[in-house]
A and B are shown apart, each in its own frame.
Chain A
C-alpha cells in the first residue's frame, strides 16, 4: 500500500470520526435544549429554546451531509425495534415496556423511512425534500417531549417523508416525459 493511500485513509478516518463527534455534540445540544426548555431546571427556559434554535439551524445548514448517514441510522432503528419486539421493552430500558404491536409498528415505520431516505441520500435535495426531512427530525424528538402526541407526530413525520418521496418520483417521471 502506497503512502498516499495510507494518508488518504487516515484523512478520511479523521474526517469521519470528526463528523460523528459533531453529530453526537448536536444530539447533546438537542437533549440539553429539551431538558432546559421543557423541564424544571436551574436555567431559564429561554436558554433551552436558544439551544434548540441553534440545533435547528445546524440541522438545516448541514442537511446535505447528514442525509447520507440517515438511512444507516434508521436501519439501526429497525434493529432496535426488532430487539424491542423480542424483549418487550425499550432498548437498554427494561423499565419502559413496549407492546409487540408498538414494536412491530416502529419496525415497519423505521424500515419504510430507511428505504425512503436512501433515495434522498442519492439525489440533490430539493426544497420539499428539505422541508420533509426537517419535519421528520422535528417530529422524531417532539414525540419524546409530548408522548401523548406520539401517534400524531409519527404520522406527520413519516407522511412528510413519504409525500416528498412521491413528489420526487412524480417530478422525475414528468421531467422524463417532457424530454421524450
Chain B
C-alpha cells in the first residue's frame, strides 16, 4: 500500500490537490482573485457588499433581469456602502465622516460626572462613600450653552438611531467583505 509522504517534497503538491478538491465543491468564502491585492478586491466588490447592490443582485438573479439602479447617483448615495469606501478610499473621506459624528460624541461627554473621591447629587445612592460636595465635570457645566449648540448640531448631523443603525449595517457588510477578501477563491 502506498501512503502519501506529507513531510517530503510532495507535501505541497498534496495541499494543492486538496485545495483543488475544495474549490470543485463550488462553495468558497474567498473572493480574492489570483494576483489581486486586498485593496483591489475591496474596491472591486464594494457594490455587492452594500444594501442597494446586494438587494439588486438578489433581485436580478431571482427575476432573470440585468439592471443597475443601485449605480444611480441619488440611490447609491443612500443605499451605497460608504464605510467600505473609507477602507479602500482616502483618509480625507474618513475625516469627513468623523466630522459628522464628532458633535454628538463630544456633547455626550460634556457635563458628565467623571469623579473620584467626591460624589455629586446627580449620582443617586443612599450609601455612597466619598466626600459630599461639588465634583469636577468633564469640560465643566459652564459650557452648557456650547453643549446645547453641539446637541443641536449633533441632532442634525447624526439624526439619532436611524443614522447609527444605517452605519452599523454598512460596518457589518464591510466586515464581511474584508473577511472574504482575505481568502483566495
Contact = CB atoms under 8 A, between A and B. Distances in A.
B162 A79 contact: no
B59 A31 contact: yes
A87 interface: yes
A79 B97 contact: yes
Nearest to A47: B63
Interface string B150-185: 000001111111111111010000000000000000
Interface residues of A, number: 57
Interface string A96-130: 10100011001000100011001000000000000
Given A27-B79, A75-B163, A32 B63 contact: yes
Interface string A63-79: 00000111111111111
Contact of A31 (B67, B100, B159, B162): B67
Nearest to B54: A24
The residue in A75, A76, A94, A96 that gathers the most chain B C-beta atoms within 10 A of its C-beta is A76
Contacts of B69: 31, 34-35, 141, 144-145
The residue in A34, A79, A82, A143 that gathers the most chain B C-beta atoms within 10 A of its C-beta is A79
Contacts of A147: 72
A161 B21 CA distance: 58
Interface stretch (A2-10, A36-44, A54-62, A172-180): A36-44
B72 to A, nearest CB: 4
Main secondary structure of the interface of A (DSSP, over half): helix
B72 A143 contact: yes
B65 A76 contact: no
B173 to A, nearest CB: 10
B90 A86 contact: yes
A46 interface: no
A20 interface: yes
A93 B162 contact: no
Contact of A87 (B62, B85, B163): B85
Contacts of A98: 73
B79 to A, nearest CB: 7
A55 to B, nearest CB: 12
A89 B51 CA distance: 18
A92 B100 contact: no
Contacts of A20: 165, 169
Contacts of A35: 56, 59-60, 63, 65, 67, 69
Given A16-B165, A96-B71, A72 B52 contact: no
A118 B157 CA distance: 11
A76 B55 contact: no
A84 interface: yes
Interface of A: 16, 20, 24, 27-28, 31-32, 34-36, 39-43, 68-84, 86-87, 90-96, 98, 102-103, 106, 110, 114-115, 118, 140-141, 143-145, 147, 150, 154
5 contacts: A34-B69, A35-B63, A35-B65, A72-B166, A86-B96
Report, nearest first, the 7 A-B pairs whose CB atoms are least far apart. A72-B162, A91-B80, A80-B77, A69-B162, A72-B163, A35-B65, A144-B72
